[in-house]
Amino acid sequence: MDRAAKTANIYRLGIKELRSLWRDPMMMILIIYAFSFSIYVSGTAMPETLHKAPIAITDEDQSQLSRRIVSAFYPPHFVSPAMVGLDEVDRGMDAGHFTFALDIPPGFQRDVLAGHRPTIQLNVDATRMSQAFSGGGYIQQIVQAEVAEFTRGTRAGPPPPIELAVRQRFNPTLAQSWFGSLMAIINNVTMLSIILTGAALIREREHGTIEHLLVMPITPFEIMAGKVWAMSLVVLMACAFALKIVVEGVLAVPVEGSALLFLAGAGLHLFATTSMGIFMGTIARSMPQFGLLLMLVLLPLQMLSGGATPRESMPEFVQTVMLAAPTTHFVKMAQAILYRGAGFDVVWPQFLAIAAIGAAFFIVALRRFGQTITTMA
């Protein structure tokens, strides 16, 4: 069979996969959700700053300074403080009504003016992690600023001996949506490509259509290549939609680098992950088995690739092993392009690594796929 005929077979088999996917409503819903609402939720689920944190204040001093401190807590960082007695603090925190409880002791203003160092007690409900982590620092700064203004009459003080100029690169406002939304796209590209190719193979086995392919004059390579290009195209188009419409449009997240360069890297990454999906589809005998196998593979790929935690903070053994995973190089490449505006002259080592890993996965998956359909024949 000449090369033109092989190419035509691969094209027709890919069209068959696209039509089969179009007739699968659950898979279509999964694709739409993963690259629309899921991206939006990932970018907005965690607050970027402290927002409407409930706080209770026990003012045992009833002085001008204590009233200044109470009036310093207002929306949007905090809700209006609930003024409670000392006996109500523990009961309110136990019931989850307050995240913070501030106790201003009696004689507080007198001790401050006398030059003493009185203590204010702050109770924090540490089970509310997103608020407890940053809220303590906010409250400390507010109290110190109010006390300083009260004692000096102004917030201005003597200049420090040195000045530290802090500049946040690539995310000046430390916005959570910038990180969450783009990392969701990166993770969903990996997840959907594995699911779609693995599910397509299992669906053919369950429906008996794989036997129809075996009697046709086509090779395992053509069958596998048809699945790879079809599912890669679907994920790549959904990725482009999510990047331009959801991330840049709805969430207004600026993308520093070339979207086309990122999509080229994503296409190369899809070559590796779709091959992984086919390999996993030859191992699992049903969709429930494939789902269990997917959890064992997908979680390490996403958690240990450097997207959730910097690789430098992981054990050296894990860092070395994860170099064999395409997600490690894809995350590094995608972050360099999308966050830091890197060009091909910077990310070409990641392109090369993904291409090599993808070729290895494709060869292994093709051999396994050929053995599987030969056994079925």
**Is 329 among the domain residues?**
yes
Do 220 and 322 lie in a common domain? yes
What per-residue confidence (pLDDT) applies to 376? 54
For 48, residues 6+ apart whose C-beta sits below 8 A from its C-beta are 173, 174, 175, 176, 177
**Is 117 among the domain residues?**
yes
d(CA 348, CA 191): 24
Q: Which residue has the tokens 């060009």?
A: 343
What per-residue confidence (pLDDT) applies to 98? 87
Do 121 and 228 lie in a common domain? no
| DSSP one-letter string for 253-305 | PPP-S-HHHHHHHHHHHHHHHHHHHHHHHHH-SSHHHHHHHHHHHHHHHHHSS
Nearest to 116 by CA among 105, 125, 124: 105
What per-residue confidence (pLDDT) applies to 146? 87
Do 135 and 276 lie in a common domain? no
d(CA 140, CA 174): 21
Do 282 and 227 lie in a common domain? yes
Nearest to 232 by CA among 173, 203, 272: 272
Q: What are phi and psi of 55, to 5 degrees?
A: -135, 140
Do 180 and 284 lie in a common domain? yes
Q: How far is CA 107 from CA 67, 171, 255, 268, in A?
A: 13, 45, 54, 69
Do 92 and 21 lie in a common domain? no
Q: What are phi and psi of 174, to 5 degrees?
A: 55, 40
Where is the domain boundary, 152, 187, 214? 152
**Is 164 among the domain residues?**
no
Residue 146's domain spans which residues? 55-152
Do 281 and 337 lie in a common domain? yes
Q: Is 365 exposed, middle or buried (0-12, 13-18, 19+ CB in 10 A)?
A: buried
Do 340 and 242 lie in a common domain? yes
Do 23 and 119 lie in a common domain? no
Going residue by residue through the chain (377 aa), what tens digit of pLDDT does each one get? 577 888 888 888 889 889 888 988 888 999 999 999 989 888 777 655 677 889 999 999 999 989 999 999 988 888 889 999 888 888 888 888 888 999 999 999 888 888 888 888 898 888 777 677 778 888 888 888 888 888 876 445 566 677 677 777 777 666 677 788 888 899 999 999 999 999 888 888 777 777 677 677 788 888 888 889 999 999 999 999 999 999 988 888 888 889 999 999 999 999 999 999 999 988 888 888 898 999 999 888 888 888 777 888 888 898 899 999 999 999 999 989 988 888 999 999 999 999 999 999 999 998 988 887 766 55
d(CA 333, CA 343): 10
**Is 298 among the domain residues?**
yes
Tally of domains in the chain? 2
Do 315 and 183 lie in a common domain? yes
Do 133 and 37 lie in a common domain? no
pTM for the model: 0.76
**Is 162 among the domain residues?**
no
Do 294 and 314 lie in a common domain? yes
What per-residue confidence (pLDDT) applies to 112? 87
